A = this chain, B = another copy of it.
Amino acid sequence: MTENKIPYKIYLEESEMPQAWYNVRADMTTKPAPLLNPATGEPMTAEQLEGVFCRELVAQELDNDTRYIPIPQEIRDFYKMYRPSPLVRAYCLEEKLDTPAKIYYKFEGNNTSGSHKLNSAIAQAYYAKNQGLKGVTTETGAGQWGTALAMACGYLGLDCKVYMVKCSYEQKPFRREVMRTYGATVTPSPSPTTEVGRKILAEDPETTGSLGCAISEAVEDATTHEGYRYVLGSVLNQVLLHQSVVGLESKIALDKYGVVPDIIIGCAGGGSNLGGLISPFMGEMLRGEREYKFIAVEPASCPSLTRGVYAYDFCDTGKVCPLAKMYTLGSGFIPSANHAGGLRYHGMSPVLSELYHEGLMEARSVEQTKVFEAAEYFARVEGILPAPESSHAIRVAIDEALRCKETGEEKTILFGLTGTGYFDLYAYQKFNDGQMDDYFPTDEELAASFAKLPKLD
């Protein structure tokens, strides 16, 4: 098929949609390091993890060997309501940039949660329901994960308790209303309703919160209430597994037209989108079948890959979670409240951390004013108002396309457009008013944070 026959948007038929998730760990030579019990320093057992997480999800979390894990029919039916998501050929962007590069993006924003998060939310809620639980607890930062989980729980009739990072809760009252409309209860974090929340508030009453705090509260809530478990929207191996549907669909769509990307770009907070998007491509590279250039893009204000250390750390601020080996800024690190949107997590998915550590992936950090410039440019040219998170990937995709313009290379770029910015207009307003600024943690700040990493021996 010739290049010019590629439509603006490639949709898969229902029959072409993936029937199994791809588990990239099965193809990794060095597996991601296991979660450790902070009390003993020993790997967490399934039994220990099942006190916090649903049974089936624990099995997925620990499974480093099964390459394809079937997607239950009920989840595939739910996927059919909002998937397949379109793989878009960015003809307008290419023309506007006057680049020889060919740009594609996988757009995950066409559902009410506004992002890819729904892919894992429905899976996690399904397994919770299947286990006979009453409900689940979680944290949300920018609000996309909380909304996704509220939708999934609303659909299945599960109770849903969301701890929302306080600065997002205040900047995004309407996010809260979406979650309420789907039947969830939403609490600003840190809150006085949990022990860990009270402790954090006592130490810093003015804190704007962080994902790390909110995780601690949600875990405490789940483990102190009968019939509840905690679910997490990123970082974990199981989440990357569920999000592999993004990469699988992208690959099937590109394969239909014989297109092979040279560069694959995704924003990276905890790693759910990036991990999902690159998984099947990374699998090919791990198996020696093909070479790709992968770029993780993170905010300069929360640069876990580019300025963090690869070490065991707590997943949460309150230190109630297991230890994970990952690139981290330290579990006490809280990015500036001036930083818009998500990608505020101190650590990075252990799977992606290991891949990055092995040199299989690059990472770049970008300043938020540059990110919003790219976001506005993209919105006007491609018509979609992107989420600030997604716009990190747009920034680097544009930079790479402009590099192609200089060199004349006709590279094929694929990036993940994880979501829409309808609930980020507060940040857009700051940008429109010229009141947005950039923020970088200082070396001293990071060193102080690293000094507090847990000591293992």
Q: Write the residues of chain A forming the contact surface with B, with a CB cutoff of 8 angstroms.
A: 7-9, 11, 13-14, 78, 80-82, 92, 110-112, 114, 151, 154-155, 173-174, 177-178, 180-183, 376, 379-385, 420, 422-423, 425-426, 428-429, 432
A337 to B154, CA, bound (A): 31
Q: Show 24 A/B contacts (Cβ-Cβ < 8 Å), sorted by A.
A: A7-B80, A8-B80, A11-B11, A78-B383, A81-B383, A82-B383, A111-B383, A112-B379, A112-B384, A114-B422, A151-B383, A154-B379, A155-B380, A155-B381, A173-B429, A174-B174, A177-B425, A178-B422, A178-B425, A180-B429, A181-B428, A181-B432, A182-B379, A422-B422
A199 to B31, CA, bound (A): 73
Residues of B within 8 A of A7 (CB): 13-14, 80
Residues of B within 8 A of A9 (CB): 80
CB closest residue in chain B, given A423 = B422
> Quick one: given A155-B381, A422-B423, are A428 and B80 in contact (CB under 8 Å)?
no
Residues of B within 8 A of A420 (CB): 112
CB closest residue in chain B, given A376 = B181
Residues of B within 8 A of A383 (CB): 78, 81-82, 111-112, 151, 155
A207 to B380, CA, bound (A): 34
A13 to B177, CA, bound (A): 36
Residue from B173, B180, B182, B385 in contact with A181 in the complex, judged by beta carbons closer than 8 Å: B385
Residues of B within 8 A of A14 (CB): 7-8
Given contacts A173-B429, A177-B428, 10 further A-B contacts (CB under 8 A): A78-B383, A112-B385, A151-B383, A154-B380, A174-B422, A180-B429, A181-B425, A181-B428, A181-B432, A422-B422
Residue from B181, B385, B429 in contact with A379 in the complex, judged by beta carbons closer than 8 Å: B181
Question: Whole-angstrom distance from the CB of A383 to the nearest CB of chain B?
Answer: 5
Residues of B within 8 A of A8 (CB): 14, 80-81
Residues of B within 8 A of A423 (CB): 422
